[in-house]
Structures are given as structure tokens and as C-alpha cells.
């Protein structure tokens, strides 16, 4: 029997506000992500991709439809055990680290919350894994570059040894050269640890670097799901996907 997908959305539907201000942000979205797969959600600003990711992460508990982890429907209010299995990396490494917390403390905190043993050993190992090294333990966020901060943010997720990373535009706040370094790091970590990714981005090149399959969103709907290789080869069938591809080529 084939195992169920690591993650699955079934008829996910999300509204914000009521009456005249109602906004149907996500419309009947369904997709599956296999274990160890990197799946991309792309679309313009406002297309609903972050809202889908936030629902998976447990940050947005108000949704209709179902979200499943290994075939089991997730409760809308996630428990602590869920957060050991799935962690979210945010866009802005400047905003996501507390300015007065040393890196060591940032990384020890999740371990204390989840009661994991040998905390300092784990912190040291994860700092090596993200390419920083143990000397970074004693740095404060203002002593770090944008790329180093995003490595710390990734380490904070990885220190719990999750199986899933939910990546919300993880490189869009970084310089182009640093973007490639972080994408290469994420690709290596996925391979080494068999991680499953959902990555949200408006940038097709960024998604194509990391993901093997993408869903293209427009106006809250998935208009097409397609392997990245087919997208690159011009085999997108939906006019909006072709438009997005043409726009990204124009920008390149």
C-alpha cells in the first residue's frame, strides 16, 4: 500500500471579514505533498499563498476543508507535538529574532519548551549544520548579517528535528547573492534530513531552485499544478501560468 502524502490540503477555503468587507482569500484549494518532496506555491501578492501556509502552520485556525498530516486530519488548534514535527520559517529574519536574545538563548528556548535532552550539544550541532559554527552562540542579532540571521532562524526550527519546514518567502528580504546561499543550504538540509518542504514565493526562479513541483495560485485558487521541469519547458497549460512564466523571464 502506498503511504499517504506527508501533507495534504482538501478543499481548503478561507474567508476574512464579514459582509461587505468579506474577503474570500483561499478558494477550494487541494494539493498533496509527498514525504521528502519540496512543493512550491507561487502567485502574485494577494493570491492567497501565505494564507494557505499559515493555515498549515497552525497560525490561522479559521478555515473550512481539511488539512492532513500523513493521512490524519489535523485539529484546527494544533498541540505542542505538532510544532516539533512542522516548523515555519518566515520572510523577515530581522523581525523574527528578538534583538536582546543571544543566539544561544534563541536556540535553547525551543528545546526547553519541548523538554529535549542534551540541549547545548543540540545547539552546537545545529549551528554547524546551518554553516555558522559554535562561535555564533554568543552573538546578538544586530551582530549578524541578514543571511546569518536567516541561518539562525532556520537553526531555531531545525533544532527540534522537525520533518516538515513551511517556508514563507524565506529569501525575499535578502540580497540576491545571499538568497542563493540560503536556497543551497535549504536544498542540502532537505537532502541530508529527508525533510518535506512547502515553500511560498512570488519569485518563480526561487521556487524553481528548490522545488520539484509547484502550484500556481491566482485570486485564491490553484489554477495549475505542474512539475517545475514542465513549467520551464513551456508545458504550462493555464494562460495565467504562462503569463507568470513570461513575466519572470522578462525580469531575468
Instruction: Give me the residues that bind ligand ATP (CB under 6 A), please.
Output: 16, 23, 25, 43, 45-51, 202
What is the Cα–Cα distance from 210 to 41, expressed in whole angstroms?
12
- Cell reading at 15: 474567508
Q: Which is nearer to ligand ATP, 52 or 228 (CB)?
A: 52
Output 48 or 147, the one with its CB closest to ligand ATP: 48
Q: Which is nearer to ligand ATP, 49 or 209 (CB)?
A: 49
Closer Cβ to ligand ATP, 47 or 104, answer by number? 47
For cell 537532502, name the residue: 191
CB of 132 to ligand ATP, least distance (A): 28
Residue 13: count of CB within 10 angstroms of its CB: 15
Do residues 152 and 136 lie in contact, with contact meaning Cβ atoms separated by under 8 Å? yes
Helix (H, G, I), strand (E, B) or coil at 10: strand
Q: At what angle do helices 176-193 and 146-158 cross, to 10 degrees?
A: 20
Q: Is the separation of the CB atoms in 39 and 228 below 8 Å?
A: no
**Separation between Cα atoms, residue 247 and residue 190, nearest integer Å:** 29
For the bound state, the minimum distance from the C-beta of residue 143 to ligand ATP, rounded and expressed in Å, comes to 29
Least Å distance, CB 16 to ligand ATP, is 3
Q: Whole-number minimum distance, CB 156 to ligand ATP, in Å? A: 22
Q: How many CB atoms lie within 10 A of CB 87?
A: 24
* Residue whose CB is less far from ligand ATP, 2 or 45: 45
| Residue nearest to ligand ATP as judged by C-beta position | 50
DSSP three-state, residue 30: strand
Residue among 15 and 193 whose Cβ is closer to ligand ATP: 15
Q: Would you put residue 11 in left (φ > 0), alpha (ψ -120 to 50) or beta?
A: left
Nearer to ligand ATP, 7 or 215 (CB): 215
Q: Residue 151 and residue 182: Cα distance in Å, rounded?
A: 7
Residue recorded with cell 548579517: 145
Evaluate whether 246 touches 229 at the Cβ level (below 8 Å): no
- Minimum CB separation of residue 113 from ligand ATP in Å reads 25
What is the closest distance, in whole angstroms, from the C-beta atom of residue 220 to ligand ATP in the complex?
Answer: 7
Q: Please state the closest distance from residue 50 (CB atom) to ligand ATP, in A.
A: 3
Amino acid at each position: 500500500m502506498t503511504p499517504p502524502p506527508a501533507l495534504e490540503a482538501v478543499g481548503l477555503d478561507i474567508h476574512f471579514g464579514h459582509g461587505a468587507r468579506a474577503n474570500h482569500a483561499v478558494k477550494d484549494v487541494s494539493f498533496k505533498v509527498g514525504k521528502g518532496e519540496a512543493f512550491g506555491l507561487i502567485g502574485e501578492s494577494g493570491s492567497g499563498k501565505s494564507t494557505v501556509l499559515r493555515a498549515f502552520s497552525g497560525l490561522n485556525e479559521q478555515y473550512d476543508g481539511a488539512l492532513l498530516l500523513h493521512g490524519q486530519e489535523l485539529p484546527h488548534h494544533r498541540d505542542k507535538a505538532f510544532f516539533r514535527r512542522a516548523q515555519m520559517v518566515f520572510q523577515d529574519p530581522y523581525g523574527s529574532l528578538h534583538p536582546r536574545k543571544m543566539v544561544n538563548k534563541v536556540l535553547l528556548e525551543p528545546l526547553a519548551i519541548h523538554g529535549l535532552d542534551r540541549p547545548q550539544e543540540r545547539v552546537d550541532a545545529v549551528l554547524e549544520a546551518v554553516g555558522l559554527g559554535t562561535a555564533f552562540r554568543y552573538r546578538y542579532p544586530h551582530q549578524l548579517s541578514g543571511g546569518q540571521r536567516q541561518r539562525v532562524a532556520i537553526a531555531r526550527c531545525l533544532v527540534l528535528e522537525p520533518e516538515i519546514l513551511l517556508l514563507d518567502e524565506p529569501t525575499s528580504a535578502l540580497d540576491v547573492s545571499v538568497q542563493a546561499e540560503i536556497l543551497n543550504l535549504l536544498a542540502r538540509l532537505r537532502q541530508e534530513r529527508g525533510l518535506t518542504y512547502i515553500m511560498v514565493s512570488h519569485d518563480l526562479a526561487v521556487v524553481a531552485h528548490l522545488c520539484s513541483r509547484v502550484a500556481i495560485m491566482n485570486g485564491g485558487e490553484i489554477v495549475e499544478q505542474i512539475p517545475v521541469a514542465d513549467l520551464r519547458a513551456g508545458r504550462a497549460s493555464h494562460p495565467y501560468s504562462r503569463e507568470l512564466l513570461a513575466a519572470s523571464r522578462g525580469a531575468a
